[in-house]
Amino acid sequence: MEAFLHQVLAGLATGGIYASLALALVMIYQATHLVNFAQGEMAMVSTYIAWSLINAGMPYWPAFLLTVGISFVMGVVIERVVIRPVENAPVLGVVTVFIALLVILNSVTGWIYTYTIKSFPSPFPKEMALGRYMSPHELGAIGITLVVLLALYVFFRFTPLGLAMRAAAQNPVSSRLVGIRVGWMLALGWGLAAAVGAVAGMMVAPIVYLDPNMMGGILLYAFAAALVGGIDSPMGAVIGGFTVGVLENVLGFVIGNELKLSVALVLIIGVLLFKPSGFFGKVHVTRV
Amino acid sequence: MTRRNLLLLAVVLLVACALPFLVSNYRTFQLTLVLVYAIALLGLNILTGYSGQISLGHGAFYALGAYVTAILMDKAGVPYWATVPAAGAVCLVAGFLFGLPALRLEGLYLALATFALGVAMPQLLKYHHLEKWTGGVQGIVIPKPDAPFGLPLNPDRWLYYFTLVIAVLMFVLAWNLLRGRVGRALVAIRDQHIAAEAMGINNALYKSLAFGVSAMYTGVAGALSAIAVQFVAPDSFNIFVSIVLLIGIVVGGLASISGALYGALFVQFIPNIADDISTAAPWAIFGIFMIGFVYLMPTGVAGAVRLLLAKRRSAP
């Protein structure tokens, strides 16, 4: 029982990380109806930037904030330079560009930083908290995730810019007519997604260590989380993230760690087959 | 097919037959891999180019084909040439079965599901209950076949000709499949699936058929690669195999049979050239080429060649 409880709590911690990345995916999906296959690699690059800053002698929290800022700019630049030309291209073209982005970010990072595994510091103390059930880092990761989610909620719900971004995602034509710069709203959405992804990367790096391929599996869980919650529902992505995190850990505990990625595969295909809109997503009906 | 095209084809075949005697053994081995890639790319092109279903996980079928061959050779003592059709058959069934649920998924979602398959594949191959057959992380080493009937060929050259014969067979098969009723049905479904349905095309059947045939091609390629490389291991079938195949069809040209060959030459030889710069460079270059082709040459090399030929013909 104790071991089981431990797995559930650890699952909540990684679930928070999946939720952040899933939220980044959902933000881009809402705005452009595209699934960003390079989201994981973007987060990985952000984490390397943070590593460089910390290794250059910067304290953790300023480095953290600076990384989030740099990632935001990186997201905006990627949207403006790489994605914008294919905005209206067929799906295959867009998917190809995303995969190309994944490959380029992965290999250039490997080129600069080599493929050797690096350790990444955690800002939280080492001793165990909550009795023996949870490490401070896990607790801290959940806390940070919740702060990020709250900030995003407040931003989208209560600020004029957030409202403009939601409008641009929902109805680009009308938004343009009332004077919203839709193109820039999309770029901002990419920036925000990259920033959220950066937080996820920095939270997961102390657990899985830093290497250019670290986000492969995590991206898969984030996909699963976004789909379970409904790919167009931010709330769903968060709940989906925690669900997938717990499910992954508990199933890993029961059937062994070897097939953990397959759990994500089965979840993704299962949800797509039986409930394509997820649990909180809208059901889309297309007129012929 | 016009006489000119036939002549061109004959020249290409002649050159393909003569090549092993003109280059070193190592180059012959690389050319064998080009043929293997060409078969796999043809398979993916049937699915993505002709039928419009995006697969980011064809590396999984490539792996399946390779493992079927390796396991049959290593555990059952089946001769290497007999394992190739077996690998094709297994992948045909696997692809058809995966294609059935995939029918309900369109565009992006299919890409997602197949991407998940591609990422999860190495872990499935390492699964310890299958270790008896798959050899786990260690993989399986298989012997290199010698030329039969006392043919005066070294193993590399023999393997090249063996692969060449199969590749030619597969290309003829694909050509016949795609220029007829089936090919037209696939293209119709890709371009306007509702209209295709109204014309009496069974969308579900043709789409899963395309998936099955595509997986069969990729499986045969995987089997041949296992024979050529003499080794299979889970980690050599990661998601990047699937990505290489995607690069191949984007560069070679979608919905084009000859594009498979251009794409295969590209994915085999560009890394060789780029490796001199850095071990990470081939992938960066691949990525840049992918973006470049989507922006500037969406029909790939095959499309560019077609355009050039058309221009020359229309010129006086």
Q: Do the domain assignments include residue B281?
A: no
In the chain, the amino acid numbered B3 is R
State whether B116 and A85 contact (CB < 8 Å).
Answer: no
Q: For residue B60, give how far its alpha carbon lies from the nearest alpha carbon of chain A (Å).
A: 13
Quick one: pLDDT at residue A49?
93
Comparing alpha-carbon positions, the chain B residue that sits nearest to A277 is: B109
Q: Do the domain assignments include residue B102?
A: yes
Token pair for residue A245?
């995190």
State whether B290 and A96 contact (CB < 8 Å).
Answer: yes
Residue A129 bridge partners (DSSP): A134
State whether A264 and B120 contact (CB < 8 Å).
Answer: yes
> How many domains, in total, are found in chain A?
1
Size of interface A-B (CB pairs under 8 A): 130
Mean pLDDT of all residues in B90-102: 86
Of residues A220, A195, A221, A218, the one with CA closest to residue A207: A218
pLDDT band at B61 (very low <50, low <70, confident <90, very high): very high
B256 dihedral zone (left: phi>0; alpha: psi -120 to 50; beta)? beta
Q: Do the domain assignments include residue B20?
A: no
Mean pLDDT of all residues in B183-192: 86
Q: Do the domain assignments include residue B283?
A: no
Comparing alpha-carbon positions, the chain A residue that sits nearest to B113 is: A269
Mutate to test the interface with A, among B123, B267, B277 (most CBs of A within 10 A): B123
State whether B119 and A261 contact (CB < 8 Å).
Answer: yes
Comparing alpha-carbon positions, the chain A residue that sits nearest to B251 is: A96
Q: Do the domain assignments include residue B187?
A: yes
Distance CA B78, CA A265 (A): 33
Q: Choose the closest CB to A272 out of B109, B123, B279.
A: B109
Quick one: pLDDT at residue B199?
85
Q: What is the tens place of the pLDDT at every residue in A139-160?
A: 888 888 889 888 888 988 899 9
Q: Do the domain assignments include residue A287?
A: no
Find where tokens 């990505």 sit.
Answer: B243
Instruction: Provide the whole-model pTM.
Output: 0.87
Q: Do the domain assignments include residue A34?
A: yes
Q: Choose the closest CB to B124 out of A97, A102, A262.
A: A262
Alpha-carbon dihedral sign for residues A232, A28, A264, B91: positive
Q: For residue A96, give how far its alpha carbon lies from the nearest alpha carbon of chain B (Å).
A: 7
Mean pLDDT of all residues in B57-78: 87
Q: Is B103 on the interface with A (CB under 8 A)?
A: no
Q: For residue B287, give how far its alpha carbon lies from the nearest alpha carbon of chain A (Å).
A: 4
Mutate to test the interface with A, among B53, B97, B98, B115 (most CBs of A within 10 A): B115
ipTM > 0.90, yes or no: no
Burial B20-29 (b: 16+ CB within 10 A, else e): beeeeeeebb
What HEC string does chain A produce?
CHHHHHHHHHHHHHHHHHHHHHHHHHHHHHHHCCCCCCHHHHHHHHHHHHHHHHHCCCCHHHHHHHHHHHHHHHHHHHHHHHHHHHCCCCHHHHHHHHHHHHHHHHHHHHHHHCCCCECCCCCCCCCCECCCCECHHHHHHHHHHHHHHHHHHHHHHHCHHHHHHHHHHHCHHHHHHCCCCHHHHHHHHHHHHHHHHHHHHHHHHHHHCECCCCHHHHHHHHHHHHHHHCCCCHHHHHHHHHHHHHHHHHHHHHHCHHHHHHHHHHHHHHHHHHCCCCCCCCCCCCCC
Q: Do the domain assignments include residue B312?
A: no
The residues in B 139-178 lying below 8 A from A, measured between CB atoms, are: none
Q: Which residues of chain A have pLDDT under 70?
A: 1, 126-133, 257, 284-288
CATH of the domain at A137: 1.10.3470
Q: Choose the closest CB to A86 out of B280, B282, B294.
A: B294
Q: Choose the closest CB to B295 out of A85, A104, A262.
A: A85
Q: Do the domain assignments include residue A50?
A: yes
Q: Do the domain assignments include residue B16?
A: no
State whether A100 and B294 contact (CB < 8 Å).
Answer: yes
Find where tokens 């806390």 sit.
Answer: A143
Comparing alpha-carbon positions, the chain B residue that sits nearest to A221 is: B116
Q: Do the domain assignments include residue B231?
A: yes
Q: Do the domain assignments include residue A282?
A: no
Mutate to test the interface with B, among A260, A272, A286 (most CBs of B within 10 A): A272
Q: Is B115 on the interface with A (CB under 8 A)?
A: yes
Q: Where is pLDDT greater, at B300 or A44?
A: A44
In the chain, the amino acid numbered B2 is T
In chain B, % of residues over pLDDT 70: 97
Which range of residues forms the domain containing residue A88? 2-274
The residues in B 63-92 lying below 8 A from A, measured between CB atoms, are: none
> How many domains, in total, are found in chain B?
1
Distance CA A138, CA A130 (A): 11
State whether B108 and A100 contact (CB < 8 Å).
Answer: no
Residues of A within an 8 Å Cβ radius of B: 33-35, 37, 82, 85-86, 89, 91-93, 95-97, 99-104, 106-108, 110-111, 216-217, 220, 223-224, 227, 256, 258-262, 264-265, 268-269, 272-273, 276, 288
Which range of residues forms the domain containing residue B53? 27-145+152-238
Q: Is B290 on the interface with A (CB under 8 A)?
A: yes
B297 dihedral zone (left: phi>0; alpha: psi -120 to 50; beta)? beta
Distance CA A197, CA A102 (A): 14
Q: What is the tens place of the pLDDT at every residue in B201-235?
A: 888 888 888 889 999 999 999 999 988 888 888 88
Comparing alpha-carbon positions, the chain A residue that sits nearest to B250 is: A96
Quick one: pLDDT at residue A130?
57
Q: Do the domain assignments include residue A285?
A: no
Quick one: pLDDT at residue B7?
86
Q: What is the tens place of the pLDDT at every residue in B19-53?
A: 877 888 788 888 888 999 999 999 998 888 888 88
Neighboring chain B residues of A262 at a CB cutoff of 8 Å: 120, 123-124
Q: What is the tens place of the pLDDT at every residue in B113-169?
A: 888 888 888 888 877 777 777 777 777 888 777 777 777 778 888 888 888 989 989
Q: Choose the closest CB to B123 out of A34, A262, A272.
A: A262
Distance CA A193, CA A21 (A): 8
The residues in B 181-210 lying below 8 A from A, measured between CB atoms, are: 194
Q: Choose the closest CB to B108 out of A35, A103, A264.
A: A35
Alpha-carbon dihedral sign for residues B179, B181, B184, B190: negative
Q: Is B133 on the interface with A (CB under 8 A)?
A: no
Distance CA B192, CA B194 (A): 6
Neighboring chain B residues of A100 at a CB cutoff of 8 Å: 286-288, 290-291, 294
Quick one: pLDDT at residue A129?
55
State whether A269 and B101 contact (CB < 8 Å).
Answer: yes
In the chain, the amino acid numbered B97 is L
Q: Work out the end-to-end distance of chain B between its first and last CA atoms, rounded to an integer number of angstroms.
A: 23
Quick one: pLDDT at residue A128?
59
Quick one: pLDDT at residue A72?
94
Q: Do the domain assignments include residue A138?
A: yes
Instruction: Report whether A20 contacts A199 (CB < 8 A).
Output: yes
The residues in B 251-280 lying below 8 A from A, measured between CB atoms, are: 254, 278-280
